[in-house]
Amino acid sequence: MRDEASIAAAVAKSIELHGRLDVLVVNAGIVRQDLLVRMSAENAREVFEVNTIGAMMAVKHAAKVMNRQRSGSIVLIASESAHTGIPGSSHYTGSKAALGGFMRSIMWEYGPRGIRINVVEPGPTETDMLAQLTDENRARLLSSIPLGRTAQPAEIADVVYWVSQSTYLTGAVIPVTGGEGFGA
């Protein structure tokens, strides 16, 4: 995601294999856990390059193809932490929050050409990132989720698929959090 040429090549390969590009899902994300006072510019730069700039470049190259087709669906995977924050992850939450603003501009640029763009914001999901939690932090996290559990990746994928196929949905930010972030 830090190499625009690789992103362009992936889009070109998709066109070569399938003849068109109907859906782009940008699900890249890295985190470099650190408090702001200890955060290096290099770590912050790397997180923004992958999570934000890489997403922008993927949309740029996919939208060129979708623009010619006059149709397409783009789904950006952000994070519910863009609204709630995570101590020690300000660069991650900032990079994911930026995707919402980016989406709001792009929907105006490409909506008239039949291209829809939306953001899905997963809450805690059983991924490698979550596997790093201590038992104490996991218990604290579960107590903040009304459903009392974390999401499985397939549950997030179900929403992403639905969003990608919705023909009149654009400019939406869809939280998939089990209710986390909506309580007291």
The reply to whether 110 belongs to the active site is: no
Say which residues have a Cβ less than 8 Å from residue 41's Cβ, sequence separation at least 6: none
What are the counts of helices (DSSP H) followed by strands (DSSP E) for the chain? 8, 4
d(CA 96, CA 12): 26
d(CA 100, CA 56): 11
Q: Please give the backbone phi and psi of residue 135, each rounded to the nearest 5 degrees, phi first.
A: -60, -40
Q: Which amino acid is at 62?
A: A
Tokens for 115, please give them. Answer: 């291209």
Closest C-alpha to 172, from 107, 124, 98, 123: 107
* Residues 86 and 128: beta-carbon distance below 8 Å: no
Positive or negative CA dihedral for 19, 114, 105, 74?
negative
Closest C-alpha to 182, from 143, 130, 138, 145: 145
Q: Which residues are catalytic?
A: 92
